Amino acid sequence: MALRRMSRLEGLRANSSQFSLMGEPFRILGGSIHYFRVPRAYWRDRLLKMKACGLNTLTTYVPWNLHEPERGTFIFQDQLDVRAYVSLAAELGLWVILRPGPYICAEWELGGLPSWLLQDKHMQLRTTYPGFVEAVSLYFDKLVSVIKPLMFEEGGPVIAVQVENEYGSYAKDDQYMPFIKHCLQSRGINELLLTSDNWEGLRYGAMEGVLKTINLQRLSFGAIQHLADMQPQKPLMVMEYWSGWFDVWGEHHHVFHAEDMLAVVREILDRGVSINLYMFHGGTSFGFMNGALDFGTYKPQVTSYDYDAPLSEAGDCTTKYLLLRNLFSHYHSEPLPEVPHLQERRAYNPVAIQQHLSLWDSLLLTEKPFRSERPVNMENLPANSNHGQSYGYTLYEASIASGGALNSQNNIRDRALVFVDRQCIGSLDYKTQELALPEVKGERTLSLLVENCGRVNYGKALDEQRKGIVGDILLNQIPLRGFTIFCLDMKPAFMKRLTNAGQWKSDLRSASVPGFFQACLYVEGAPRDTFVRLHDWGKGSVFVNGQNLGRYWSIGPQHFLYLPGPWLRSGENQIIVFEEQKPGDKMHFAENADHGKTIDVYKLPFCTLL
């Protein structure tokens, strides 16, 4: 289905109990693959595998925080060329449902909302608060100009557009969803509009001309019948059928057994309901883009978004894939296309760490530090041309003249390593809010290296996601004053300066943490995918040829990072590890991911999956 003029044909309609497309009955057999979680070089491979599984529709979110990383600066090219991605889907014969947000959830940092919104101390996200309305309006001006040529009526493959995401679980502003609907329609989006909510969120009031769909994993509480009762004589759709689940640090890897999944998918299809598999292929939350949960306890998510989906993180066809392909084949009159060959992977030989550079020496390579009497949260730092700091680490330093009780008052967001004269004495986080500082003579430097471990992506805590130090830190009940603040967001420009720095040392016996550790991977022949194994390391991030692969942490469950072959080159490849607490002496590689201990999501309480 190459892009073609279809303006005279009727697009997706929901005027009866069954969808119609171009005037003919149509069943949506969909799957979610996020272009921003898959290296662009693999878009075609993943979409071909989707087509070969028997799906006819691609769904994808659009992450505002990547497309407008600084207010007024828009990126829609290279990895973020959503128009190229959707056009590729059309070329391969897939229809598309776009989910442009502005909020997307997706286990993605702040649910895809840009952190610079939080510079406004009065900001109310996902409401008609004037500051949010203005920012969304300017973003949609740009976004819709990019996506409008992709609409069905323009000859493109986009047959439906989702209005925001799961607002029924949040609903605190009756005017908000009509505002988002108006944002789309007033800019010329005329395709079928949808909402998407879990069973609990369906209670939110309906909007005229917008079809409700449901998100679920189990057929519990008569959820689909409940949706049918709410919308008589309308087509039924499970917009998110959760094919697996995501992971958080410190817990087991979540799995959803293929046979259990297949039984529910079969029943949904037997009922004549349209379905979208979330996720069909999860991919990776590269860099610092993982989200977090907070239902009373803050839990950051891991880098891998494997999701136990039909296509694995590296694009392998799993047992789920094969079972679904067999099932979906019964809904096609023609044989399904052949499944593309799997990408070859390689377990490269281990490489030794060759050089190191302490955190303290790297400070010369950061932007000019900021001085402030009181602590300043990341978003309000005058970094990045006064757009603030969004991700990574922030170092706060102040002078102290005594030891005693250091109390964070729960103002650390989210985790801080604490140093006195660059000697680590412990950490502060949500659970540990007080440390005993050793007695000192004379003036000493107290340093707090604070990590944004990932902003919450779902729930009521969205407005409280400012990071760094967000209030006073007390020493013996007296607030600390006189801070020097360094931005360590580890963006490409900083990593380039780091690479070219002359301060690297080769004597590993003098290595200290936190610090940067450098190795060289030599690739003979064509580069192949691999997994970086990190069992011997503590906590940090890995950069390969300047690409931030994501975070690792010894508490698991993830002890590896996916390294796509297209990000390697024949010959020498630079690896830089930022390690907080326990460096290894080598980098190891493996052909396959090791997810460690697992837990079956089907055995978890249903309420945890709402």
Q: Catalytic site residues?
A: 166, 240
Reading the block at residue 194, the tokens are: 């949808």
* Exposure string for 463-477, b = 16+ CB within 10 A, e = fewer: bebbbbbbbebbbee
**DSSP states of 145-161:** HHHGGGBGGGTSSEEEE
For residues 319 and 261, is the Cβ–Cβ distance under 8 A?
Answer: no
Q: Where are the beta strands (DSSP E) in 564-603?
A: 571-579, 586-590, 598-600
Helix (H, G, I), strand (E, B) or coil at 51: helix
Strands 474-475 and 404-407: antiparallel
CA distance 102 to 185: 15
Residue type, 257: H
CA distance 420 to 549: 31
Three state DSSP letters for 488-546: ECCCHHHHHHHHCCCCCECCHHHCCCCEEEEEEEEECCCCCEEEEECCCCCEEEEEECC
Residue type, 1: M
Output phi, psi for 394, to 5 deg: -135, 135
How far out from the chain centre does Cα 361 lie? Answer: 31
CA distance 393 to 468: 8
- 353-to-153, 271, 454 alpha-carbon distances in Å: 56, 57, 28
Query: Is there a cis peptide before residue 585, judged by omega within 30 degrees of 0?
Result: no
CA distance 254 to 240: 17
Cα 204-175-69 angle, rounded to 5 deg: 100
CA distance 35 to 89: 11
